[in-house]
Amino acid sequence: MLAETDIKDRYTSTNKNFWFKNMPTCKDRQFGWESNNKSVLFVNHGKTTLVDSLLKHSGLLGNGPNVCVMDSNELEKERGMTILSKVTSFMYKGNRINIVDTPGHADFGGEVERILSMVDSVVLVTDATEGPMAQTKFVLTKALQRDLNPIVVLNKIDRPTSRPDEVDSELLDLFMGLDATDKQLDYPILYASAKQGWCTKSLADAQEYIKNPPSDSQMGSLLDTILEYVPHPESVGDLDSEPFRMLVTQIEPNSYLGKCYLGKIQSGRVRVGDQIKALKPESGSNNQEVSKITKILLKRGLLTEEIEEGIAGDIVLVSGLKSASINYTLCSPSVTEPLPFVAVDPPTVSMSFGVNDSPLAGREGTQLTSSLIRDRLLKEAETNVALNVVSGNSSESFEVRGRGELQLSILIETMRREGFELSVSPPRVLLHKDSEKNLVEEPVEEAVVDVDAEMAGIVIEKLTKRKGEMKKYLEVADKVRLVFEIPTRGLLGYISELKNDTRGTGALTHSFLRYEEYKGPIEKARKGPLVATGPVGTCTSYALNLIEPRGKLFIRPGEVVYPGMIVGEYNKDSNDLEVNPTKAKQLTNIRTVHKDERVQLTPVQPWTLEEAIAYVNPGEKIEKERRRF
């Protein structure tokens, strides 16, 4: 058995061919990291933190205060959530373990679905207090359908409110409800505190660790369980006689190499300089690109290293092709049939992205034209299989279809930081028409809300008005869990409302269930807007002081407004009220500027993009600029 230092030396040496030819490929293991706790705004689940502990245990990450190092994207760091799938690897007891860290939120389920084709098992990380959530069912269904045998980790076991025995029973009920096989039901359970960096097979040992936390990472139990329970990769045949085949599951742009294609090598071997071709997912397609491999890259810890050869079972990045995309098969020239791929669930929500045509357009952004917006959206759809881009109602707008508000708002924010100015419509749900039954169907989701008992009433009332149907009322630890089946339309804009109703303590997770008959219109309880009139100009304290008694203001003195801009919310009814926020105080010989009284306005609460998306009605738009919206 090679020591870790020997492995590191072999990797950094130029004799990389020797290492891969003599590597025990039957011991290569791939497994995916999935988390059931999908709270949208308030909870960090510990899945990525658990990966940090594994990297520390393997010696590839120092013992300093590293927090969610796999979340390298700027938005991921700001929001404390995983948005993009990440891949890394390390050696343990002579075995290469490839970790795939995936997003936890339901809106990014497409990242989970396409990555499942690369893994041999799933580590299902479950909060020991909250238990299985709505997203757990989605993740577990996809994993069980691919005959993957899960490993269950009850995380946050050190919390005083943890209830491991009850959560274990809830998970077993979930497995049985999803028709898991006897082998899949025989899953191992481990107890962990990702934050403290330990994991154990025994609940008694976990209680001891809680009393006396270890000084260094103790993840050996989890790694040993992976070696014991994760099956060897499927038979890949002889490395020299079988042709090279790899399914592209992710594209990573590189300023020097161009497009790098990530995937698991299914058979054969590939070397730098080999001639390969890209097959479209459609069988029999004649449009094939042929090129040479320029680089082969391997993820190890937090580094990406060049290697000379990849063999079956490896998860690698290859460069050299230009036109390949997600679900393409990279293969030897002799291969004629593409590899099968996992089809992702269709989108359920759409928004219109268009050119910013307001009077303030072009003041802050640099990417302003419809052609630039179209190219950027098509580029995003190429790498994000859960997004679809179609032509809009005009030549300067495009309909972007995705899984939910959060996914689309992340795209808007990303484009804003790249210098784009956008005009965005409110989200709408994609309906299906059943021609046989002559019915219009809409997507229905399972929504799980955890709230304090005294706030359950207002949540039940609001979700019922949104056409929700309560299925369960459970007491979980010190909270109440409400399980609803509700149309996707009913959840649009509800997150911010839940936050206000529960004073920030409520948590909502949801996942797609099925399509059902359209349940009728849902009233959107919103008061009328205060709409600016007059010329384009700067708001004055004098004008806002006169307007404030009429409603809640969204703007501050000194901001530039234009006719038709929503500047506040009317406090009386749902009708629009036109106001002039640029009106200045008229000066006379008696009333001079020096005699102005001090104006005190109510502080304006800043909006998040998700709150703005939830607020706007059909016929209204959000103007997204570089520094404001």
- 437, 422: one domain: no
3-state class (DSSP) for residue 536: coil
- 315, 251: one domain: yes
How many C-beta atoms surround the C-beta of residue 213 within 10 A? 14
* CATH number of the domain within which 267 lies: 2.40.30.10
Residue 337 lies in a domain: no
Structure tokens at 312: 């079956």
Confidence of residue 77 (pLDDT cuts 50, 70, 90): low
Q: What is the pLDDT of residues 125-140, one digit of tens each?
A: 888 888 888 777 777 8
Structure tokens at 109: 């389920």
Confidence of residue 17 (pLDDT cuts 50, 70, 90): very low
d(CA 502, CA 482): 14
Q: Under a CB-based contact definition with an 8 Å cutoff, are residues 354 and 394 in contact?
A: yes
- 436, 494: one domain: yes
* CATH number of the domain within which 490 lies: 3.30.70.240
0.85 surpassed by pTM: no
Domain range for residue 95?
A: 29-229
- 158, 36: one domain: yes
d(CA 34, CA 47): 7
**HEC assignment per residue over 284-300:** CCCCCEEEECCEEEEEE
- 66, 192: one domain: yes
- 156, 91: one domain: yes
Q: What is the pLDDT of residues 382-428, one digit of tens each?
A: 878 788 888 877 777 888 998 888 888 888 888 888 888 888 888 88
Any residues with CB less than 8 A from the CB of 493 and at least 6 apart, and which? 405, 524, 613, 614, 615
- 437, 418: one domain: no
Residue 198 lies in a domain: yes
Q: Under a CB-based contact definition with an 8 Å cutoff, are residues 323 and 289 in contact?
A: yes
- 463, 571: one domain: no
**CA-atom Rg of the chain in angstroms:** 27
- Among candidate residues 517, 537, 571, the one where a domain is terminated: 517
d(CA 267, CA 237): 7
d(CA 581, CA 554): 11
Q: Under a CB-based contact definition with an 8 Å cutoff, are residues 375 and 418 in contact?
A: no
**Burial grade of 485 (CB within 10 A; 0-12, 13-18, 19 or more):** middle
Residue 115 lies in a domain: yes
% of the chain surpassing 70 pLDDT: 83
Residue 420 lies in a domain: yes
Residue 620 lies in a domain: no
H/E element, 134:
helix 134-145
Question: In Å, what is the CA distance from 562 to each residue of 325, 567, 622?
Answer: 43, 10, 14
Please, what is the end-to-end C-alpha distance for the chain in angstroms? Answer: 59
Residue 507 lies in a domain: yes
Confidence of residue 587 (pLDDT cuts 50, 70, 90): low
% of the chain surpassing 90 pLDDT: 3
Confidence of residue 318 (pLDDT cuts 50, 70, 90): very high
3-state class (DSSP) for residue 528: coil
Q: What is the pLDDT of residues 342-353, one digit of tens each?
A: 777 788 889 888
How many C-beta atoms surround the C-beta of residue 166 within 10 A? 14
Q: What is the mean pLDDT of residues 103-123?
A: 76
Handedness of CA 284, 289, 293, 298 (dihedral sign): negative
**Burial grade of 511 (CB within 10 A; 0-12, 13-18, 19 or more):** buried
Confidence of residue 38 (pLDDT cuts 50, 70, 90): very low
3-state class (DSSP) for residue 239: coil
Nearest Cα residue to 605 out of 542, 556, 540, 546: 556
Angle between helices 370-383 and 405-417 (to 10 degrees): 130
Residue 608 lies in a domain: no
Instruction: Considering only residues 146 and 9, tell me which one the structure prediction assigns the higher pLDDT.
Output: 146
* CATH number of the domain within which 421 lies: 3.30.70.870
- 207, 256: one domain: no
Confidence of residue 283 (pLDDT cuts 50, 70, 90): low
- 513, 542: one domain: no
- 194, 107: one domain: yes
Beta bridge partners of residue 151, listed in sequence order: 123
Query: What does the CA dihedral 268, 269, 273, 277 come to, rounded to 10 degrees?
Result: 30
d(CA 582, CA 536): 8
**DSSP character for 420?**
B
Q: What is the pLDDT of residues 510-552, one digit of tens each?
A: 888 888 888 888 887 778 888 888 888 888 888 888 888 888 8
- For residue 26, the model assigns a pLDDT of 38
Report strand pairing: 121-127 vs 149-155: parallel
- Among candidate residues 392, 408, 428, the one where a domain is terminated: 428
Residue 39 lies in a domain: yes
Nearest Cα residue to 312 out of 626, 605, 545, 23: 23
Nearest Cα residue to 137 out of 108, 110, 164, 171: 171
Beta bridge partners of residue 261, listed in sequence order: 251, 318
Confidence of residue 594 (pLDDT cuts 50, 70, 90): low
Range with lowest mean pLDDT among 30-39, 340-349, 436-445: 30-39
Number of domains in the chain: 5
- Among candidate residues 397, 428, 459, the one where a domain is terminated: 428
- 354, 492: one domain: no
